[in-house]
Amino acid sequence: MTKEEIIEMANQASKEWLKEFPTPEETAHPVPKRFLEIFAKLVAEKEREECAKICETLELPEWPDKVRQPLAKAIRARGQE
């Protein structure tokens, strides 16, 4: 992930968090907990997807599609837990 992608996810998390109408007490903290939860979720989703794409595109003879595809699927499924 690039620095720009992480910054964009932080901006997206901020927008989503503000939609929840945070209380003045929540906005008084330097980095509100809910904002961090949203941000962490976005970062994890992006990282899982990047890992899954790597599995799908590996060109190793010992890793045929029947191995790569289930691995990519398993990585993506971790976000559904």
Is the pLDDT confidence value at 50 over 90?
Answer: yes
Number of residues that make up the chain = 81
Report the alpha-carbon angle 9-73-12, nearest 5: 10
> Domain-by-domain residue ranges, the chain?
3-80
Task: Note the pTM of the prediction, 2 decimals.
Answer: 0.67
Express each pLDDT in 1-34 by its tens digit: 777 888 888 888 888 888 887 788 877 777 788 8
Q: What's the pLDDT at 81? A: 65
In whole angstroms, what is the distance from residue 1 CA to residue 14 CA?
Answer: 19
